[in-house]
Amino acid sequence: MTSYPLLVAQYAIIGHPRRTEHWSLVVLVSRDEGYVYEILGDWSDFAYHVRYVEHFLESSSFRGGCIVGQVPGNMESIFRLERSLEVVSIIHNDSNFDCQDWVLEAIKLLRGTGVINPETDEAMIRNELQDEYERWETGEDNLIERLYSNIRR
């Protein structure tokens, strides 16, 4: 059975008091298409959002990502993942909680479903994303470009 990579994607943000990257979870169904799971807003009104993106690499703020798991390649599994993420806690009015904390909590929750790679932990994610950011700064291919380098658009 086909599977889709589940990744933590990072995007540049400006003006956050603690972070320089926004994180989301993404099921990448092709080089260009994916389902993005994230929280948006600020400390008082964070909310869980899901969106389908047809041109993933066109985001000017995308700074790469790291693979944290695999999702079975069917819509039922994608919808099951979407529903699972609805129960990830969102903490309001706490300046110590943000999108990165939400992604890490989501990964803990998903670990029990079998879609998260066993070696995935916070240190691995942060190290991989730092390496991705450095690749972006030097103009090297990002994760998605490397994954699909042998496939023509």
Domain ranges of the chain: 3-147
- Give me the mean pLDDT over the 58-73 stretch: 92
The rounded distance, in Å, linking the Cα atoms of 123 and 52 is 28
Q: Six-digit token pair at 19?
A: 């972070």
Predicted local confidence at residue 152, as pLDDT: 47
**pLDDT(27) > 70:** yes
pLDDT greater than 50 at residue 153: no
pLDDT band for position 150 (cuts 50, 70, 90)? low
59-77 CB burial, b ≥16 within 10 A, e <16: eeebbbbbebbbbbeeeeb
* Rounded CA separation 153/30 (Å): 10
